[in-house]
Structure 1
Amino acid sequence: MKVRTLIALITAIALICSGTVATIHQPATGTAVASTSSTVQPSDSYVLEQGGECRRIEPLQSGESIEEFYDYRNHETHPEDVERRYSSHGTTHLQEDDTSILFLHEGTNGTSLVMVHDRLGGETSGGVVTFDIVGLPSDAEWVVQDDLYDGETNMVEWYRGERYAGASWIWSESRTDGGAIRGGLDDDFAVTIHPAFNEDAEHYDNDDLHDPDYFEDGELTEWEALSGSAEDPDRTTLSMDEPVTIRTGTCDDPSVSYERTDDGISATVTGAEPDDRVAVTPTTGSNDAIEFEEVELRDVESDGSISFVNGQTDVPKTSPNGVESFTDLTITTDGGISDAAATVSFTVNGSYLEDREIEPERVALYVQDGETWTESPTTLRDESGDSYRFTANVTSLSTVTVAPAQENEGAAPSSLYGIGLGLTVGTLLCIGLLITAKRRRG
């Protein structure tokens, strides 16, 4: 074999080896960049769960937006020559006396969660209701508010907080109250509605109201979930004393329900097995420029709960050695989730990184273990507009923080590790070929 041919062969082998190794090597520091990405298709299957029972439901579909379908009217939205009785005029065919209805609506602007209390023009006295809705996506917002107008008779209170929204309604005879939430419900989701009807509602015997007796002691006697046809849907009677969870998926999937805590939210997972991957929605973290989006659990042994609180609850607060923590999220677990692993998804505002002269590839997630922080394998998944999306695999669930990856003094860049190993393989091959050639000549 000629020397030039031998050298060329060795060089080619070395380059192939170095390139292959460099591709699969885990970076010594910083964030890996995903070479491919996959998109999870939104689910078109929905279920409703209450009291251990689960049933499939179908959104009410129309060729209208939910604002048009609900058709809320008051003196600010419609002129005097139009009937405007501070109620839903578009859902009269669905309304029933002294009944609250709950359903999903699919229209021109996506999927909405809708609730309508009582019946317009019915034989009703009025009523009071409070709903606390937990587990909502960040994009979710009230897009229909019945009632919302300037005037002392508008006593409805609306609120939107960290992964939750709610309202306390009060209405008079032969009218409705209610609303609709839209945003983020076209993707996979799970939201839990905590009801408080009649004497359990916030506005029952509330002397701070302009007119505490506005509802004339009216009461709701039924709570129903609607499913199927927008003109003549199926109706399921619900317990008025228990929360309801509506989520994507099937009744065979693990169940996730949410509730508010004093300083965050808690998710309860039931029916999961170790091979299942269960997505739960955390609070967003302690920095508005960085949002924790999802914690996908795995290795769940049995039913359990996981709670989220923005920031660090331990005092004094700490950071990984030599770097500044950008945002913190305290995670606590109980039951069959205590030993679970997870994939944590979060987004970072690009301007936030640019202001600090930090490349996206240098962003990392850390997990707290006692007084120390462990850097987790972190991957840059995609870039959308001025936002970067990352995932990080963690083997335990505790307080997490997002911060720059730590510099390892004396560590070569990951590409050099691959090249060095590739050249080593090439050198060994070279030696072997030279020995073989020498033996043949001998």
Structure 2
Amino acid sequence: MEQDSNGYRRSYRRLATLAVVLSVALVPLSGLGAAQQADAAGNQSYVAVQGEECTPITSFSDNKSALAYYDYRLPENFSDNPSVNQTGDIFGSGGTAALQEPNTSAVFLYTDTANNTTSLVFVHGEVEDGSGGAATFNITGLPEDGNWTVRDDDFNDTMSLDNWTVNGTQSVVDWAWPSETTDGGVYSNVSQDTNVTIEPAFNEEAELFGEANNGTVDTWQVISNESDNTTISNESDGMNESDGMNESVNVTRTDLVMNESLQISGGTCEDVANGTDGDDADTDGGATDDADSDGDATDDTDSDGDDTDDSETNETATVAFDDQETDGTTVTVQNVTVPEDGYVAIHNDSLLDGDAVGSVIGVSDYLEAGSYDNLSVELFDVPGADFDESELTENATLIAMPHEETSGDESYDFVSSNGADDGPYTDNGTPVTDDANVTIANDTDDNETNETATVTFDDQETDGTSVTVQNVMVPNDGYVAIHNDSLLDGDAVGSVIGVSDYLEAGSYDSLTVELFDVPGAEFDESELTENGTLIAMPHEETSGDESYDFVSSNGADDGPYTDNGTPVTDDANVTVVNDTDDNVTETPEEDTPVDDTPVDSPETDTPADDTPTDTPADDTPTDTPEDDTPTDTPADDTPTDTPADDTPTDTPEDDTPTDTPEDDTPTDTPADDTPEDDTPTDTPEDDTPTDTPVDDTPTDTPEDDTPVDDDDEVTPTDDGSPAPLSG
């Protein structure tokens, strides 16, 4: 699936001097999936060049296609992928297993001797080990008549994170792979005329770093076949399995600098050293270099006799151009040094497509020889150039390139002369450059906001038939789908158990989504019956029919919104309400008796309050019912009367506390106490209090006298005379 390359195109970097460590290893042949032999494709030779280091490359070979050699394997449900050789669960290359190493990215050549075609092969990671990783390659100079025979990975599923941007002779690929899998690819039909440049970015510099996991690439290598063995027929059915042959092939592994470009081309290292494409510098067939015009065995370009070519300048320019924000009208070059007078030009990324003149969008003022820090360069004001815009409006990769003043007019003429004058400074034939990711400060937030959807899905309870998405925003028309946790196992289509109605672009709060009613899906249940984790995922309407077709199209239509290649999601713990209610209803039943206990407590306290209701015993001596009115007076009168004899009737008073439990009965307790008082029964006065609203007396008395006074009255009765009432 080819995608727009905006934002994915990686930086263009010049070749620089570096050290390369050669390590030769014997690699088991089993698991290569085929025989290995010296390159039989017309004895063609290739080289890998990084900076000043050149490494010869001999391809691995067999009489099978590059697709069969790489042996890309995916599960059966992706078997229609044109890159797949056979089905399997490794999500990667089975045929190159013996060349794979953990946390290593490798590049090498393979020749199909059946049709005499050579392919460029990339393999990242190892299928049985490694922590995974991420890489971005900007590959230029690919043969026009070639093609990507294998894309590992590129399949139509949300699990496929990789981005493949193919544009003629240039391809930009963003890879991200988890542990125990590989990523990579095969580009077929390279030849002696090939001159491919690979601009690498690994780990944090890669576009998709952290998308699959946080694994890292520790080593980048170019591998060459150094074996002399002839064709060996030992077809492999699986990983590291052969028919018993276990021969070895001698390979050379050359470690590369991971942040510098690599060139793969036809020819020899001698050609590179001579600066030719395989032609001898002695063009006339004589014994001397034709640069020696006088035949004295010295190079006549060495005018001062110091054995150096005076036509070459030993000193060149340098430039440092850092990532930065801009308002779109200027950029800042952190440092530029020009050994001779010149300029520093700013190119856009059309330079990567070979447009050296048309890519110039800015140039500095005339610079005398020297070093300059924090040099500001105006954009879209270049002599000889016409522009349709006056400022940058989008984030972009720009390239700073020092140019030399060659016409002597102190005016930048590179564009107006179509590249004939004021050309760039070079280092070993390559323009001196540095690149920067330039961000438009005012547009960053807006771009991020408009790019993708957002969703908020909180933990919640449900009756099993629907869930609520707290908020979803879709920048274009679409839907929000509900997936069960089989999504986490890679089942993007079968995990859909609910989908919203068609949503026009906008933001929606508290959106109800019905479950188990999805177009194209069949379910054995009609509602959730168990608690679980569900995932909300916004999908975009891509088929134009305003109907959710993701399931019915097996993921081809109405796919999810993504953020940096990853579907936008939020998950929630969903609890089925019916299960929760059963537990809750039991709890109040257990609490009910607890509530009854306090109810009994007041009843228990009531007798304490009712105890004073025995006051009628004191009131009993009140011969007249008038005691009801002057409640306090009878209390004083009582001691005056002979009821002193009645008072000693402590028996009823002693019985009274005994009757306390009977006080739980209504306040008619005094009536109950009266029958127990055998002594008072001799007089009808006991009946009088019964008829009298005795309750009125305790009503007044308990408020003031119950807690203290009445008890005090009972205690002193031991003297035989009533104690005076306190207060």
TM-score, normalisation: structure 2: 0.30
Q: Which structure has more helix as a fraction of its residues?
A: 2
Task: Pick the structure with greater CA Rg.
Answer: 2
TM-score, normalisation: structure 1: 0.48
| Higher-RCO chain (CA-CA 8 Å, sequence separation at least 6) | 1
